[in-house]
Chains A and B, each alone.
Chain A
């Protein structure tokens, strides 16, 4: 029943709508982690404003435990979804920032990843120092591949993107991020360039992203589309339009250009391009 990905339960989709009360009840009980998992996901997805939602999610986040046993994975799946949901409940969930900062130190890199993304969504300046510390050993160490899996030592993509979303553009932060623009994995280069573009507005980083729109791997082209959208880099309109990828992703990227960007090309041109991609 538990799945990875976006944290949506595999077998209990939108086909079985539940009420907010029911989602809270499922998260509150502790005998069935899969029910808690679904409850946590629901509260984030539906942007619950119930006063009990955030305290329950904080509680679920504290239930994490080491990942080495089968049962541990279950518990951390609930904690991961709780972290994701807290990110979706910005800005009300800012009170959970200390819990998420604790989670950023967890040995489970999947949990650190979820916590980093949530801290980015909450735009928590309190997290900048910890995010930078996780990345400071650079692309060779923090960005090195683990000996036991294809994953990196740190969840670099999430850590980098959180720094961009938080938006503290000090020379120290830029100096931590910049070495990742030469990482061996194009997805990490894309994330680093996006963050530098968001923080500095320096056009040279858009060049890295536009070049990745031509990458032979679809997955990389998709990442570069999302990153240009997140940075709202409007001069990329034309290259985005001709990228070989699904229109759905181009539309999300163009929405980013409209909502996050400024300058030329202007809104009418951006909307005309979106119309043509429907």
Chain B
């Protein structure tokens, strides 16, 4: 295969010498990205695997392999060359994508609002709707003097870290049941230089043991959470990227999708200061349900303030206040 490739390179070697990116490998062994795509029939393979938005996928992988910023990679790959090592990576990554490994795991990092986070296998990848959610939360607290923040189930740390990144007056504590996610969140905080205002505890929330022993008397001004909210009946519709590569604990919300949210309500009753806020990102039909639950079960303790829509006009976010 490689011999075939190098042979086919003959006539273009003059061009290669002019555009010799990266390493010191002899010019003749480089291969244009367009050619690598064509020879490997990657477009067809990705399509057959059911991968959508293939151009974007390929561009992400190209920018990762060439170690260039995504926005600096041109839409046309005509002028881009891969050396043998890069070509091997390129094909390995595309193969993984055909097996529906999430792009964010292949790249090993992904952006969330203004920060870039490391990703790790089995740790839930933050979704674009969560950016809109955090924009609302950050906007609601931008004028506060000091905010003690608690995040329940922080995963990669995206929500807390983006808030710490935009507001210097916030100090965050997070709990997370997955060990891998706990480690990743701490790593991300360190990488972003936010470790002095962020701590994460490996803890599984249970009735009457909502927070780890060390935090059992702590009170907070704000609790945020994107708890698992996918209903059991919806599990049949999950994408392969999600079923195979993500930890389903981060998604499983029980029969009505609010199993974990209910625990968070009780946690908020004990650990929010009066006037403190609880913000939750939930599924499509949840905000009206939450409103009903608040009125029926939490009167005098928690008050439903409002529901908000995500960028696709679906009402999915709720704001609750501690009375």
Binding partners A and B: no
